[in-house]
Chains A and B, each alone.
Chain A
Amino acid sequence: MNSHLIIAPILLPLFAGLLLLFDRQERVWPRRLLGLLGSFLLLPVALLLWQQAASGDISVYQLGNWQAPFGIVLVLDQLSALMLLVTAALALPVYLHACGGDDQLGANFHALFMFQLMGINGAFLSGDLFNLFVFFEVLLIASYALLMHGQGPERAKAGLHYVILNLIGSSLFLFALGLLYAATGTLNMADVGRVIRAGEGAAPLLLQVSGALLVMVFALKAAVLPLSFWLPGAYSAATAPVAALFAIMTKVGLYALWRLWPLMYGVDGSPLQGLLEPWLAGLALATIAFAALGALAAKRLAALAAWLVLVSVGSLMLALTQATTVAWAAGLYYLIHSTWAAAALFLLVGVISHHRGSHTDQLQQGPPLPALLGLLFIALAMLLVGLPPWSGFIGKLLLLQAIPMATFWLVLLLSSLLLLVTFSRAGSTVFWRHQLGDKLTRLTFQQVAPLSMLLLLCLALTVLAAPLLDITTAIASQLGDAQGYLDAVLGGSAAIEVKP
């Protein structure tokens, strides 16, 4: 029974979403309740899986009981468990926030939210590259519809660009998979790793081209510099809860690259070794610098938040290319922090623009805002800029310690300074420069509670930084141990037998 738990993070949102599709009534509370149940149940499931993975064993779930390189497998190791937990902890507050009224802006929000979660969870669990492609498509098609949620020409434009770009990305993904299959004769991640480690691949050139194409696809999803121009437009056009959920989406691309790194790109003596690291490291640095400048130039709070997502993507990509356990551990800690903090900022921007009426989230003079919103904004600014003592500071410090590279220090510290200026300017414009005579609107509990939950999670990250760093170090060393992964997936004895 316990072994079937691995597939629960995929099936649970799938069935919740399907049931939600049948509900066509006017009343909204049954839908909200069902969706809430679906997102809430993900949390205990993720915690149980986390517990199962914490021992260091890699659990393998063979779909249809087909043996590993032939059938599709779901693989649960500590990295997957961590990502599932981060997603589940993100989804619940975001969903609660959406139930405050944003879910009424268009049809089928609840079902799409569930399908999006299904795609994300599936991508984190998949042990097969083609299956990864399928789950990417599931999460993408849900995200296409979610991005358009709320309508309006701005969203139609951002949605059109986002969809076309990602469809091109999907085509490239398929080209890459075709080449990889031609080069290695398999698409199972562990088996690809085995073939590359054994040096059995048919043609090194095919492998190199396919590896480079795969990096391009994942860099498009993660929004690394030359492929990142879509992100600020798309994220700032989306409604607040959708943008907050999208905070995990760039991490899906990074996760996929992280998963494949020890299996494909970091293997000693493989044709892919050293091919892409210098490029990726430079592009990651450029992403950080570009995003900090973009944030400084942003005219809306939502755009500012979207550029901040890019800053974290750049830092994480650089940590990834370092391929040391210390850098990966620091990167994973920063990944958790940046996902939750960015999502909280998107939710706060939603609340702020709700209170400012026609001024929405434009950086201009508007009506006065409740003091609590200002406090939350300061807290989030400190988190995201990386001011001590919050988790943003710890995350950036860990990254700086782990990556002793002068250019990185310069770029990250300067970009943090720029972000500080940006936040000070945005905060003083929105909160201090208001028109006289306007009435203060009342804050409701529903508006503040969900994003406070995310803030509390970041507080927990700060307090529990030391044990958490131990955990991410364990995750990073397990991830780097490609042989252990191969043994668990391909070795018959280690795999869990699933009874029909």
Chain B
Amino acid sequence: MEILLAIMIASLTSCGVYLILRVRTFPVVVGLTLLSYAVNLFLFSMGRLTLDAPAVIGAGIDSTDPLPQALVLTAIVIGFAMTAFLMALALRAWGEFGNDHVDGTDIIANQESDQG
């Protein structure tokens, strides 16, 4: 189980990092989303993995740590809002630049060729 989770987090993180390094805004947004998925899974595992146990201390013999679950919930909400904001921003930047390059360089190159 630990190995499976570790492999999942690692592959999500590496895909996320790869996509963030791309030059167009959409892959960057997807990369950040993958990275936030990896973070959420990682937070889950930080209270150690416990299977088939309630998240309430004292109710059963075995219980899992409830705190990471609360933290993950907060992290999901914040990550979701941030992704939505970034998506809107990327659209706005696309409108301003006329392309989806993260630096908007295509339009700068065009302007220079116009002037020259």
Do A and B interact with each other, yes or no? yes
Given contacts A168-B20, A179-B46, contact A141 B81 (CB under 8 A): yes
Q: Is the CB of B103 within 8 A of A171?
A: no
Segment at the interface with B among A148-156, A365-373, A412-420, A485-493 = A148-156
Q: Residue A167 at the B interface, CB < 8 A?
A: yes
Segment at the interface with B among A52-60, A158-166, A278-286, A440-448 = A158-166
Given contacts A153-B97, A164-B20, contact A148 B74 (CB under 8 A): no
1/0 per residue B22-64: CB within 8 Å of A? 0001001000100110110011011110000000000000000
List CB contacts (< 8 Å) of A224-256 with chain B. none
1/0 per residue B81-116: CB within 8 Å of A? 110011001101100110000111001000000000
The interface residues of chain B lying within 8 Å CB-to-CB of A182 are 46-48
The interface residues of chain A lying within 8 Å CB-to-CB of B82 are 137, 141, 167, 170
The interface residues of chain B lying within 8 Å CB-to-CB of A159 are 89, 93
Which single member of A175, A179, A181 contacts B47 (CB below 8 Å)? A181
Bound-state CA distance A187–B74 (Å) is: 15
Given contacts A167-B82, A178-B43, contact A156 B75 (CB under 8 A): no
Interface size on A, residues (CB 8 A): 28
Which single member of B32, B47, B74, B102 contacts A130 (CB below 8 Å)? B74
List CB contacts (< 8 Å) of A169-190 with chain B. 170-171, 174-175, 177-179, 181-182, 187
List CB contacts (< 8 Å) of A132-154 with chain B. 134, 137, 141, 144, 148, 151-153
Say how far A218's CB is from chain B's closest CB, in angstroms.
18
Q: Residue A157 at the B interface, CB < 8 A?
A: yes
1/0 per residue A176-211: CB within 8 Å of B? 011101100001000000000000000000000000
Q: Residue B10 at the A interface, CB < 8 A?
A: no
Bound-state CA distance A171–B33 (Å) is: 10
Bound-state CA distance A175–B43 (Å) is: 7
Q: Is the CB of A153 within 8 A of B43?
A: no
Which single member of B36, B86, B107 contacts A153 (CB below 8 Å)? B107
Bound-state CA distance A163–B83 (Å) is: 10
User: A181: nearest residue on chain B (CB-CB)?
Assistant: B46
Q: Residue B71 at the A interface, CB < 8 A?
A: yes
The interface residues of chain A lying within 8 Å CB-to-CB of B107 are 153
Which single member of B48, B75, B92 contacts A174 (CB below 8 Å)? B75
Q: Is the CB of B32 within 8 A of A168?
A: yes
Which of A141, A151, A153, A179: most chain B Cβ within 10 A?
A153
Given contacts A137-B82, A161-B102, A168-B35, contact A174 B43 (CB under 8 A): yes
User: B81: nearest residue on chain A (CB-CB)?
Assistant: A141
Q: Is the CB of B93 within 8 A of A160?
A: yes
Q: Is the CB of B32 within 8 A of A171?
A: yes
Q: Residue B7 at the A interface, CB < 8 A?
A: no
Say how far B2's CB is from chain A's closest CB, in angstroms.
13
Q: Is the CB of B43 within 8 A of A164?
A: no
Say how far A472's CB is from chain B's closest CB, in angstroms.
34
Which single member of A152, A160, A167, A174 contacts B25 (CB below 8 Å)? A160
Which single member of A130, A156, A171 contacts B35 (CB below 8 Å)? A171
The interface residues of chain A lying within 8 Å CB-to-CB of B93 are 156-157, 159-160
Which of B48, B74, B103: most chain A Cβ within 10 A?
B74
Which single member of B32, B47, B67, B71 contacts A167 (CB below 8 Å)? B32
Say how far B35's CB is from chain A's closest CB, in angstroms.
5
Given contacts A161-B102, A168-B32, contact A137 B78 (CB under 8 A): yes
Q: Is the CB of B104 within 8 A of A134?
A: no
Q: Is the CB of B89 within 8 A of A148?
A: yes
Bound-state CA distance A156–B71 (Å) is: 32
Given contacts A134-B78, A168-B32, A174-B39, contact A163 B97 (CB under 8 A): no
Q: Is the CB of A164 within 8 A of B78?
A: no
Say how far B28's CB is from chain A's closest CB, in angstroms.
6
Bound-state CA distance A175–B12 (Å) is: 13
Say how far A160's CB is from chain B's closest CB, in angstroms.
5
Bound-state CA distance A427–B54 (Å) is: 68
Given contacts A141-B82, A152-B96, A160-B25, contact A171 B36 (CB under 8 A): yes
The interface residues of chain B lying within 8 Å CB-to-CB of A157 are 93, 96-97, 103-104
Which single member of A137, A141, A153, A171 contacts B39 (CB below 8 Å)? A171
Given contacts A141-B82, A160-B89, contact A181 B68 (CB under 8 A): yes
List CB contacts (< 8 Å) of A417-442 with chain B. none
Given contacts A168-B32, A174-B39, A178-B42, contact A156 B92 (CB under 8 A): yes
Q: List 9 A-B contacts (CB under 8 A).
A: A130-B71, A157-B103, A160-B93, A167-B32, A167-B86, A171-B36, A181-B46, A181-B67, A182-B48
Identify the A interface with B (CB < 8 A). 130, 134, 137, 141, 144, 148, 151-153, 156-157, 159-161, 163-164, 167-168, 170-171, 174-175, 177-179, 181-182, 187
Other than A156-B89, A156-B104, give 11 A-B pairs with Cβ distance below 8 A.
Answer: A130-B74, A137-B78, A141-B82, A141-B85, A151-B96, A157-B96, A159-B93, A168-B32, A170-B79, A171-B36, A174-B43
6 A-B pairs with the lowest CB-CB distances in the bound complex, closest first: A178-B46, A156-B96, A153-B96, A174-B39, A156-B93, A182-B46
